[in-house]
Amino acid sequence: MSETCVLVLDAEPLPRLDRLRGRARVVHADEKSLAGHLPEADVLLVWDFLSAAVREAWPGEGPRPRWVHTPSAGVDRLLPELSASPDTVITNARGVFDQPIAEYVAGLVLAMAKDFPGSWELQRRRTWRHRETIRVGGTRALVVGSGPIGRTIGRTLMALGVTVDLVGRTARDTDPEFGRVHGNAALPTLLGEADWVVCVAPLTEESRGLFDAAAFSRMKPGARFINVGRGQHVVEDDLVEALRAERIAGAALDVFAQEPLADGSPLWDVPGLLISPHMSGDTLGWRDDLAEQFLDNFDRWEAGEPLLNVVDKGLGYVPST
């Protein structure tokens, strides 16, 4: 058996790579050299997981990697091109981001409820102005996306006394933690009941543009919207319009249709809109965790064992067992 070739698409150095020493030939590629290297690679690690280069460079015919790993939760930057390669397995970073993103969303909920943005703006103006804030306990959240991240968000909000409705692909009447999981058909009704609407769905053809003018018009005037899914889940112009018309009370976006957000984007200064640069899951040491997760899966690959976190290319995510 010839030595395994691991191709790494990396803009930044990958930690812990010494674990592959003597076990694989590691080839580094950038977006330009990727296409030339793909035919020789057994394994592709999309370390630069924000890149769209893999879809463009993916070979239509001939040899190609049998395993592609992306150290992200979403795999939308790999599909649908890779779906046409039935022998290629895709794995993702399922699990690594659950707790960090849940903390991030809980933090946004509390920050918006307690109007921290308002307090810190008043601080800049050296102005003391007491306001009454929202009690989070007893409010209601709708979490769209019932994978591990969505479930961890739901669990964290429940610990704060929030009633949580979870929406997923498959409705279930019995769920050990949430009582039930709603199907997509329940979304229009549930949108009208929530104080907090959180999008953490995988990006698929069904979920693209899910949060549009119709969705925002169903929400309560006091509702706040949080997107930690993908920018393409939101029709950004419709969100801007909903905020400017005060049809909803506020929103926080960590992801955008175009990243990085351009300096000239009108989103930066929409009233009631909080912006962060796609970092909700990225806690100190996250790159180490992601590298270890890939390398642990490489151990399995080398031993001929089934890989963990295998994406269902038809669904566009790792189905829950």
Choosing from 18, 61, 126, 304, the residue that interacts with a second copy (CB under 8 A) is: 126
Looking at residue 302, its amino acid is E
Q: Shortest Cβ distance from residue 9 to a second copy (Å)?
A: 18
Nearest-5° Cα angle at 35, 95 to 307? 30
Residues in Cβ contact with 195 at an 8 Å cutoff, skipping those fewer than 6 apart: 134, 139, 140, 141, 220, 222, 223, 224
Q: Is residue 110 a contact point for a second copy (CB under 8 A)?
A: yes
Q: Which is nearer to a second copy, 7 or 157 (CB)?
A: 157
Residue 231 interacts with a second copy (CB under 8 A): yes or no: no
Cα–Cα distance measured from residue 298 to residue 23, given in angstroms and rounded to the nearest whole number = 10
Least separation in angstroms between residue 280's CB and a second copy is: 8
Strand 196-199, strand 140-144: pairing:
parallel
Pick the binder of a second copy from 30, 133, 170, 192 (CB under 8 A). 133
Q: Tell whether residue 240 is a contact of a second copy (CB under 8 A).
A: no
259 in catalytic set: yes
Tell me, yes or no, if 151 is annotated catalytic. no
**Which of the ranges 57-65, 183-191, 281-289, 309-317 carries the binding residues for a second copy, by CB under 8 A?**
281-289
Indicate the angle between helix axes 148-159 and 98-113, nearest 10 degrees: 40
Give the three-state DSSP class for 273: strand
- Cβ of residue 16: shortest distance to a second copy, in angstroms? 17
Known catalytic membership, residue 230:
yes
**Coil, strand or helix: which one is 233?**
helix
Instruction: Quote the distance between the C-alpha of residue 12 and its chain's center.
Output: 20
Interface segment toward a second copy; rule CB under 8 A; list 17-25, 77-85, 156-164, 240-248: 156-164
The least distance separating a second copy from the CB of residue 58, rounded to whole angstroms, comes to 27
Q: How far is the CB of 290 from a second copy (least distance, A)?
A: 12
Distance (Å, whole) CA 78 – CA 91: 11
The SS3 call for residue 24 is: strand
Distance in angstroms (rounded) separating the CA atoms of residues 73 and 84: 21
Residue from the set 11, 159, 214, 245 that interacts with a second copy by CB under 8 A: 159
Contact set with a second copy (CB under 8 A): 99-100, 103-104, 106-108, 110-111, 113-114, 116-117, 119-120, 122-123, 126-137, 156, 159-161, 259-261, 263, 265, 268-269, 274-280, 282-286
